[in-house]
């Protein structure tokens, strides 16, 4: 089927095109211009919009049921107290309570501290790795090896690291201890170090994603610019900061925003490794929400926290989609 | 290519850099792969052997790691005592079910979204994608309340539906990109030849089939690796592998051997799938924003 199409330029649709003059006198007619596509409207009427809406309807309806409907429920729940069946309207009390809730506020602080540490390490290590791996003889092998951590379920990764961090038989604990970085206590048991332990796991699992994204970006850095710069006598460092990094910036922005939102989305590592402890040192906001809603089953308060969290995510998402749509981002 | 011939750096700085970068890559590879090696090897060790460590600071004693007699008993307990074959089936049904539903509904929606223009389309699109980005815990609060009233908590259909909350928007978003790349002219030509609109749609499916296949796999991957939905919505009747693995951690008795074995069982299939769809992985994990 495709073979019959290769010769025909599908963009030739308007009447003017059909009667265009030859551009060059030697141009050979591979097909008679008179045999172009029929004008739209007669044999091939533009699709009725309704047809497409019918195709769309099942997915939209399903999505509405599992996303829009719950969202309205969430709003309703946020103004209620108590469980299903025995609910009581409490107005804005759930929200005003949050303002004086220390864990809610510290949850935000911890969330941003956690995200900042993760992102800083992931981006700096990830980009460095991408630059080194790019064009290497072993690139294919290295990239495949890098993919491995991302394929692992975060909860399982958490359990694996729980084993590695264990104060009596964990190999990583032994390594840290032998290097003198750590005392005999496990890294997870101290409120001071628990956050770093979790950041390390996140860095282990997701730095490769940044590397892959950066690699895709590096392939698109215009070679002529680098060459021109090198001809002008720039050092490799100068080359990197003046040419490569600015060209990499749009994809990196996407990577950072994606990872930032994932830090909101996934709390599997933390739930498995520390459960928010010790002494709430790792109780970032989503973990706190999990505890309120599914440990204490205070769904009203949970809904209020969830709503605030959702609003912030939607704002972040709006920014992200804006970046996606920017032509320089290499997206669609 | 040409530049290599024209400008050839071979300064001492360059040589130091290349040595440093080799060291860096080797170090990073060890850091990335060591946990897997430890998990894999420990799953074949008896517990006492798995707990053996050299003295602190005794770097020469690392060889202790390889002193063991391989045993399969952890895998045996997993499947005989802990019912893991059942959980594996649950994982498979939940992940596969939501992937198939998402891709069928998603491809229809993605196709029509790619072919038609209407007012508010970008808003519809933003709604779809924000569903995917919403924090799982926040989504789960109302979903749990609704599912409880519908008796869907703890059932596989409930879990499939829960996974669809993130897989369907993902499928629509990515597949739209695929359909955008297929020229409308192909369908037009089909219709000129007498095909109906739906036949024309079917005729372009082979062009996007590789992409659709890869994204079924990606949807399976996301659902298989999920922990939160499975822990809350699937709790009880529809336990999946990550949740079952987590439950091997008991306050008095952490069955480390079984956990390592369960980790291997949970991770290995996804790694194989990941290698199969390697080409689409970056596009998928960045939601289509970055293409390799």
* ipTM of the complex in this document: 0.89
CB-closest option in A5, A136, A324 to B189: A5
Same domain, yes or no: A106 and A211: yes
A-facing residues of B in 172-201 (CB < 8 A) are 172, 177, 180, 183-186, 188-192, 197, 201
Same domain, yes or no: A119 and A13: no
Does the pLDDT at position A112 exceed 70?
yes
Same domain, yes or no: A20 and A123: no
Closest CA to A218 of A246, A253, A260: A246
Same domain, yes or no: A33 and A123: no
Same domain, yes or no: A210 and A289: yes
- Is residue A86 in some structural domain? no
Same domain, yes or no: A220 and A113: yes
Non-local CB neighbours of B17 within 8 Å, separated by 6+ positions: A236
Cβ atoms of A280 and A204 within 8 Å: the answer is no
Does the pLDDT at position A120 exceed 90?
yes
A-facing residues of B in 23-82 (CB < 8 A) are 24-25, 28-29, 31-36, 38-39, 42, 50-54, 56-59, 65
For residue A88, list its beta bridge partners. Answer: A81
- Is residue A59 in some structural domain? no
Q: Would you call A67 and B131 a contact, using CB atoms and an 8 Å cutoff? A: yes
Return the residue of B nearest to A311 by Cα.
Answer: B134
Give A132→chain B minimum CA distance, Å.
Answer: 6
Does the pLDDT at position A32 exceed 50?
no
The pLDDT value given to residue A162: 92
**Residue B172 to residue B132: CA distance in whole angstroms:** 10
Same domain, yes or no: A174 and A302: yes
How many domains does the structure of chain A reveal? Answer: 2
Cβ atoms of A308 and A96 within 8 Å: the answer is no
- Is residue A88 in some structural domain? no
Category of B131 on φ-ψ map: left (φ > 0), alpha (ψ -120 to 50) or beta? alpha
Q: Would you call B21 and A132 a contact, using CB atoms and an 8 Å cutoff? A: yes
- Is residue A299 in some structural domain? yes
Q: Note the Cα A116 to chain centre separation in Å.
A: 15
Residue A249's H or E segment, with its range, is helix A245-265
- Highest mean pLDDT (candidates A20-29, A320-329, B203-212): B203-212
**Residue B176 to residue A306: CA distance in whole angstroms:** 30
Full domain range(s) for residue A171: 94-325
- Is residue A264 in some structural domain? yes
The half-sphere exposure of A167 on its side-chain side, counting CA atoms within 13 A, is 10
Same domain, yes or no: A162 and A292: yes
- Is residue A43 in some structural domain? no
Same domain, yes or no: A99 and A181: yes
- Is residue A50 in some structural domain? no
Residues of chain B with pLDDT under 70: 1-10, 292
Residues of A in contact with B88 (CB under 8 A): none
Same domain, yes or no: A260 and A121: yes
Across A105-109, A163-167, A259-263, B65-69, least confident range: B65-69
Does the pLDDT at position A43 exceed 70?
no
Same domain, yes or no: A100 and A226: yes
Confidence of residue A2 (pLDDT cuts 50, 70, 90): very low
The pLDDT value given to residue B54: 82
DSSP B75-144: HHHHHHTS-HHHHHHHHHHHHHHHHHHHHHHHHHHHHHHHH---TTHHHHHHHHHHHHHS-HHHHHHHHH
Mean pLDDT of chain A, nearest integer: 81
The pLDDT value given to residue A7: 46
φ and ψ of B237, to 5 deg:
-80, -25
- Over residues A244-260, the mean pLDDT reads 85
- Is residue A65 in some structural domain? no
B-facing residues of A in 23-42 (CB < 8 A) are 37-38
| A236 touches B: beta carbon within 8 Å | yes
The model's pTM: 0.84
Question: Which CATH number is A247's domain given?
Answer: 1.10.3720.10
Q: Which residue has the tokens 């709503």?
A: A307
Same domain, yes or no: A11 and A112: no
**Residue B38 to residue B54: CA distance in whole angstroms:** 15
Chosen for mutation from B141, B196, B236 (greatest number of chain A CBs closer than 10 Å) is B141
The half-sphere exposure of A61 on its side-chain side, counting CA atoms within 13 A, is 8
């Amino acid at each position: 089927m495709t073979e019959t199409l290769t010769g025909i330029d599908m963009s030739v649709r308007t009447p003017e095109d059909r009667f265009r003059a030859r551009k060059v006198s030697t141009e050979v007619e591979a097909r008679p211009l008179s045999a172009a596509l029929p004008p739209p409207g007669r044999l091939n009427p533009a699709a009725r919009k309704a047809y497409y809406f019918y195709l769309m309807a099942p997915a939209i309806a399903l999505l509405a049921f599992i996303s829009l409907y719950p969202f309205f429920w969430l709003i309703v729940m946020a103004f209620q107290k108590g469980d299903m069946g025995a609910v009581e309207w409490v107005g804005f009390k759930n929200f005003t309570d949050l303002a004086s809730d220390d864990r809610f506020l510290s949850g935000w602080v911890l969330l941003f501290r956690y995200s900042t540490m993760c992102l800083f390490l992931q981006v700096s290590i990830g980009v460095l790795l991408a630059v080194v791996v790019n064009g290497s003889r072993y690139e294919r092998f290295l990239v495949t090896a890098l993919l491995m951590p991302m394929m692992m379920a975060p909860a399982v990764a958490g359990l694996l690291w729980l084993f590695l961090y264990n104060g009596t038989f964990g190999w990583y604990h032994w390594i840290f201890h032998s290097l003198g970085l750590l005392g005999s206590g496990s890294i997870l048991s101290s409120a001071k170090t628990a956050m770093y332990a979790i950041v390390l796991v996140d860095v282990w699992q997701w730095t490769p994603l940044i590397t892959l994204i950066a690699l895709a970006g590096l392939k698109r850095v215009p070679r002529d610019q680098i060459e021109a710069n090198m001809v002008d006598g720039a050092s490799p460092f100068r080359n990197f900061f003046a040419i490569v990094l600015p060209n990499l910036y749009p994809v990196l922005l996407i990577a950072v925003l994606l990872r930032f939102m994932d830090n909101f989305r996934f709390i599997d590592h933390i739930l498995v490794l520390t459960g928010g402890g010790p002494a709430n040192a790792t109780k970032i906001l989503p973990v706190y929400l999990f505890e309120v809603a599914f440990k204490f089953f205070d769904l009203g308060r949970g809904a209020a926290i969830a709503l605030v969290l959702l609003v912030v995510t939607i704002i972040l998402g709006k920014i992200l989609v804006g970046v996606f749509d920017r032509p320089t981002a290499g997206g669609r | 290519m040409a530049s290599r011939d024209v400008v050839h750096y071979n300064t001492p700085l360059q040589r130091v850099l290349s040595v440093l970068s080799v060291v860096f890559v080797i170090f990073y590879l060890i850091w990335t792969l060591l946990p897997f090696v430890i998990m894999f090897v420990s799953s074949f060790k008896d517990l006492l052997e798995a707990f053996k460590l050299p003295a602190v600071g005794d770097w020469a004693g690392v060889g202790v790691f390889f002193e063991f007699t391989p045993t399969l008993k952890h895998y045996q307990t997993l499947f005989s005592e802990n019912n893991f074959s059942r959980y594996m089936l649950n994982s498979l049904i939940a992940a596969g079910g939501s992937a198939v539903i998402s891709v069928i509904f998603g491809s229809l929606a993605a196709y029509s979204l790619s072919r038609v223009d209407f007012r508010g389309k970008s808003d519809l699109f933003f709604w779809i994608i924000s569903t995917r980005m919403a924090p799982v815990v926040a989504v789960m609060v109302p979903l749990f309340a609704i599912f409880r009233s519908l008796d869907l908590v703890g059932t596989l259909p409930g879990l499939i539906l829960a996974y669809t909350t993130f897989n369907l928007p993902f499928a629509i978003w990515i597949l739209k990109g695929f359909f955008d790349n297929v020229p409308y002219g192909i369908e037009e030509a089909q219709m000129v030849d007498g095909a109906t609109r739906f036949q024309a749609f079917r005729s372009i499916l082979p062009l996007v089939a590789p992409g659709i296949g890869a994204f079924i796999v990606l949807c399976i991957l996301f659902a298989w690796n999920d922990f939160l939905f499975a822990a809350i919505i699937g709790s009880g009747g529809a336990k999946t592998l990550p949740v079952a693995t987590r439950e091997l951690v008991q306050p008095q008795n952490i069955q480390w051997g079984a956990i390592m074995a369960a980790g291997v069982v949970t991770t290995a299939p996804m790694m194989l799938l990941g290698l199969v769809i390697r080409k689409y992985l970056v596009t998928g994990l960045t939601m289509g924003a970055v293409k390799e």
